[in-house]
Amino acid sequence: MCGIVGYIGEQQAYPVLIKGLHRLEYRGYDSAGIALINPEGTLSVNKAKGKVAALEALCADKDITGTIGIAHTRWATHGEPNTTNAHPHYSQSKNLALVHNGIIENYKSLRAEMENHGLSFCSDTDTEVLVQLVEYMQVSHECDLYTAVQLALKNVVGAYAIAILDRRNPDQIICARKGSPLIIGIGKDENGKAEFFLGSDATPIIEYTDKVVYLQDEEIAIMDRIGRMDITNLANVKQTPQIHTLQMNLDQLEKGGFPHFMLKEIWEQPNALRTCIRGRLNVVEKDVLLSGIIDHKERFINANRIIICACGTSWHSALIGKYFIEEATQIPVEVEYASEFRYRNPVIHSDDVVIAVSQSGETADTLAAIQLAKSHGAFCYGICNVIGSSIARATDSGTYLHVGPEIGVASTKAFTGQVITLALLGLAIAKEKKTLDEQMFHMLVDELQQIPDKMQWTLEHNKHIDQFAQIFTYAKNFIYLGRGYNYPVALEGALKLKEISYIHAEGYPAAEMKHGPIALIDEEMPVVVIAPKRGIYEKVVSNIQEVKSRKGKIISVVTEGDTTVKEMSDYCFEIPDTRDCFVPLLAVIPLQLLSYYVAVAKGRNVDQPRNLAKSVTVE
Ligand code: F6R
C-alpha cells in the first residue's frame, strides 16, 4: 500500500529510485513521484498520474541529476489519484519534500491549525499536512530537521512510514516509521563508498546490498552521505540498530520469461512448496519438525482454543487450517476476519493461542488483531511469508512460508504455502498431543510429501485452460461451490476471478445453494464445482444435479478418472487423488489458472488490477 524508495550515496539516485519504484509498483500504482537534490542544490519534485512508466516519460526531459533522492508509488487513501495528490509533497517554502505511506488520522485538525497560522495547502492529502507540520516545527522551534520531525510526529495520530529531504542539507535523508514498514539497506558502491537505500520492503534494495535494518515503530533514522546512520526513538533515546542479512535473490523478483508474475507464481508452486516443507517434513522418520513450536509446546498442548486471524486469501487458507487442525488436534479453532476481531471486543483468554496468517506480514488489521491478543496475554504465532515483517516480529513465535517473494497482486503461491504450513502445524501439535493414531500420522506425512509432485501434474494437465477461457468472458457472474475442505477453495476461486477479471463471483458451501443462491441459476450462469471423489462426493453430485436441472453451466474439478461428474459437466479439470484434507492444495490450481486466463482474455492488467494493492498497510 504505497511504496517508498530512497537513496543517498555517490551513484546517480534517479536510476536506483526508478528501478525501485518498478519493483514496488505492486503496492500501488495510481500515481508516482520523485524528489532529487541536484548538484547545484535545487530540490526538484516530478510527479505523474498513473504508473511509474508515466513518471519516467515525464522525467525524460527534466534535470534528473543528483545523488540523493526519495520516490513514491501511490495507492490513494486521501484525495483522488491525480498529480497534485501524488507524492512527494513540498512544504510551504519548498525547502522540504516528503513521501509517506500510511494514514494520518488527525490531519484535518492539524491542517486547520496550520491554516490558522497562514499556511496554505495545494493537495487533499494527509501527507502534505505532515510535511507542512515538520516545516512549521522547524520554523517555530528554530530547530534542525531531525528535531522538527520528532516534534511533528509526536503530534500525529495514525500510521506512517516517511522519508524527507531538506534542500539545505543535501547530505542527509531522514526517515521514520510507525505502523507502516520501512527498511534501510546499508551498502558500499563499487569504489567502496558508503551508501544507504530505503524501501517499503526489501525488493528495491536487494540488488545493491543484503544488509538491512528494519526500522521499528516510533524510530527515526538519519542517514548521511559518509555512511553514518543514527537511530533514535520519539522519546529521543538512541537505539542500536540490528543488521539483518536478506535471504532473497534477484531472480525471484523477475518474471523469468512468463508474461505475468501471477502466472510465474502459479507455476512456481510445486517448488515453492518443496522449499516450504524442506527440513520440516521427515518421511524417513515419519516426523514433523517446526522450530517455531519447539520452545512453546506447552502453550499449544494446553491451548483451550486456537483463534486464527487473517484477511482475504489468507482468511481462506486459515479456514482450511481450522478444518485440519481441529480434526487432527481436537483443539477448537475459530477463524476471524482480523478487521472484525480487532474492533468487536472479542473474548480472549491467556490460554488461547492466536495465529496470524499473512503473506506480507504487514496487513494493518491482522497486525492490530495480534496486538490486541497480546494485550490479553494470549500466545501469538505468526505464519508469514515476508521475513522480518511487522507481524513476524510482533508475534511470540512463528513459521515462515519460504515460498519466495510474491509480486503478483493476486495471491497464489502464498495461499498454498499457508495451507501446507497450517497442515504442518496441525500435524506438529497432533504429534505432541498424540491425537492422531500412528498409522494415520504416517499416512498424512507420506501424502503431504507427495503434494508438490501432484501439483506439478495438475499444472501440466490443466495448462490447456487458456484455450477455452475466452468462452467465459461473456459472463457477468460466476458461482463457485464446494463442501468441507473445498468450501474455502470455492471462496478462493471466486476471489481470484473477481479481483483480476472484475467478473462478479461468489463462493458458497454447495448445500447452501438451495437456501437462496439457486435463484440465480440460468443458462448464462457458469457454476464451478469442486467435486473430488472423496468425502461427501455423492452429496456434491446431487448439488450438481440441482444446478444442471436449472440449466447452469457446470465447470467441475474432479479426481482423475472420475467419469460420473465429468459426464455431467460442460467443462472439467482433473486433479490427482489425495486425502480429503489436502485436496485444496490441488483443486485451487485449475481455479487459479481459470481466473488468470479469463482475465487475460478480457484484456485485464493481471499483475496490477484496478483499485488493489498487494500489501494493505492501512485499515
Ligand atoms: C487476494 C489477496 C488479498 C490478501 C489480503 C491479506 O489475492 O492477495 O486478499 O490475501 O490482503 O494480505 P496478507 O496475506 O499479506 O495479510
* SS3 per-residue string spanning 151-174: HHHHCCCEEEEEEEEECCCCCEEE
* Ligand 1 close to Cβ of residue 314 (< 6 A): yes
Nearest atom in ligand 1 to 409's CA:
8
For atom 10 of ligand 1, which residue has the closest CA?
A: 313
**Please, what sign has the CA dihedral across residues 206, 208, 210, 214?**
negative
Instruction: Calculate how far, in angstroms, residue 449's C-alpha sits from the geometric centre of ligand 1.
Output: 26
Nearest to 184 by CA among 151, 211, 218, 150: 211
Cα–Cα distance, 420 to 583 (Å, whole number): 11
Residue 134 CA: distances (Å) to CA of 3, 92, 103, 149? 21, 10, 16, 5
Per the listing, cell 499449544 goes with 300
514 contacts 542 by C-beta, under 8 angstroms: no
* Ligand 1 close to Cβ of residue 365 (< 6 A): no
Per-residue pLDDT reduced to its tens digit, 210-221: 999 999 999 999
Cα–Cα distance, 615 to 101 (Å, whole number): 11
Lowest-pLDDT range, 89-93, 402-406, 439-443, 492-496? 402-406
Report the pLDDT averaged over residues 98-127.
92
Widest CA span in the chain: 80
73 contacts 28 by C-beta, under 8 angstroms: yes
Write down the pLDDT at residue 27.
80
* Ligand 1 close to Cβ of residue 616 (< 6 A): yes
All three cell numbers of 522, joined, read 440460468
* Ligand 1 close to Cβ of residue 231 (< 6 A): no
Instruction: Calculate how far, in angstroms, residue 382's C-alpha sits from the geometric centre of ligand 1.
Output: 15
Write down the pLDDT at residue 375.
95
Whether pLDDT at 617 is above 80: no
Cα–Cα distance, 154 to 220 (Å, whole number): 12
Q: How confident is the model at residue 398 (pLDDT cuts 50, 70, 90)?
A: very high
Write down the pLDDT at residue 610.
83
Catalytic pick among 2, 309, 311, 581 = 2
All three cell numbers of 393, joined, read 516480529
Cα–Cα distance, 400 to 392 (Å, whole number): 8
Bridge partners, residue 175, by sequence? 163, 221
**Please, what sign has the CA dihedral across residues 197, 200, 204, 210?**
positive
Per-residue pLDDT reduced to its tens digit, 523-555: 999 999 999 998 889 999 989 998 888 899 999
For the chain, give the mean pLDDT: 94
The question of whether 614 is a catalytic residue gets the answer yes
Domains 261-460 and 465-601 share a fold: yes
Question: What is the rounded end-to-end Cα distance, in angstroms, of the chain?
Answer: 11
Write down the pLDDT at residue 89.
97
pTM over 0.75: yes
Instruction: Calculate how far, in angstroms, residue 359's C-alpha sits from the geometric centre of ligand 1.
Output: 7
Bridge partners, residue 99, by sequence? 163
Assess if CATH 3.10.129.10 describes domain 261-460: no
Cα–Cα distance, 53 to 73 (Å, whole number): 11
421 contacts 280 by C-beta, under 8 angstroms: no
The number of C-alpha atoms within 13 Å of 400 and in the hemisphere containing its C-beta is 18
Per the listing, cell 516480529 goes with 393
Residue 79 CA: distances (Å) to CA of 49, 76, 91, 217, 583? 13, 7, 18, 26, 44
Bridge partners, residue 337, by sequence? 310
Report the pLDDT averaged over residues 391-411.
94
Instruction: Calculate how far, in angstroms, residue 338's C-alpha sits from the geometric centre of ligand 1.
Output: 12
Nearest atom in ligand 1 to 384's CA:
14
Per-residue pLDDT reduced to its tens digit, 292-332: 998 899 999 999 999 999 999 999 999 999 999 999 999 99
Q: How confident is the model at residue 616 (pLDDT cuts 50, 70, 90)?
A: confident
For atom 11 of ligand 1, which residue has the closest CA?
A: 312
Write down the pLDDT at residue 2.
86
Which residue type is seen at 406?
Answer: E
* Architecture field, domain 465-601: 3-Layer(aba) Sandwich (3.40)
C-alpha of 317 from chain center = 14
Fold classification of 3-253 is: Glutamine Phosphoribosylpyrophosphate, subunit 1, domain 1 (3.60.20)
* Ligand 1 close to Cβ of residue 412 (< 6 A): no
Nearest to 615 by CA among 17, 16, 180: 180
Domain definitions of the chain by residue range: 3-253, 261-460, 465-601
Cα–Cα distance, 313 to 8 (Å, whole number): 37
Q: How confident is the model at residue 565 (pLDDT cuts 50, 70, 90)?
A: very high
H helix or E strand, kind and range, residue 114: helix 107-116
Cα–Cα distance, 85 to 31 (Å, whole number): 9
Cα–Cα distance, 520 to 45 (Å, whole number): 52
Per the listing, cell 485499515 goes with 619
Residues 6 or more apart whose Cβ sits within 8 Å of residue 368: 338, 342, 619
Cα–Cα distance, 29 to 73 (Å, whole number): 6
The number of C-alpha atoms within 13 Å of 192 and in the hemisphere containing its C-beta is 0
For atom 16 of ligand 1, which residue has the closest CA?
A: 358
Write down the pLDDT at residue 252.
78
* Ligand 1 close to Cβ of residue 363 (< 6 A): yes
The question of whether 19 is a catalytic residue gets the answer no
Which residue type is seen at 388?
Answer: G
Cα–Cα distance, 413 to 169 (Å, whole number): 44
Write down the pLDDT at residue 518.
85
Instruction: Calculate how far, in angstroms, residue 77's C-alpha sits from the geometric centre of ligand 1.
Output: 18
Instruction: Calculate how far, in angstroms, residue 112's C-alpha sits from the geometric centre of ligand 1.
Output: 36
C-alpha of 366 from chain center = 11
Per-residue pLDDT reduced to its tens digit, 132-190: 999 999 999 999 999 999 999 999 998 899 999 999 999 999 999 998 889 999 999 98
Report the pLDDT averaged over residues 75-85.
82
Helices (H) and strands (E) in the chain, counts: 20, 27
Nearest atom in ligand 1 to 415's CA:
10
Per-residue pLDDT reduced to its tens digit, 323-351: 999 999 999 999 999 999 999 999 999 99
Write down the pLDDT at residue 618.
67
Per the listing, cell 511469508 goes with 385
**Which residue spans within 305-463 are E strands per DSSP?**
305-310, 333-337, 352-358, 379-384, 397-400
Instruction: Name the DSSP letter for residue 314.
Output: H
Nearest atom in ligand 1 to 363's CA:
16
Instruction: Calculate how far, in angstroms, residue 409's C-alpha sits from the geometric centre of ligand 1.
Output: 8
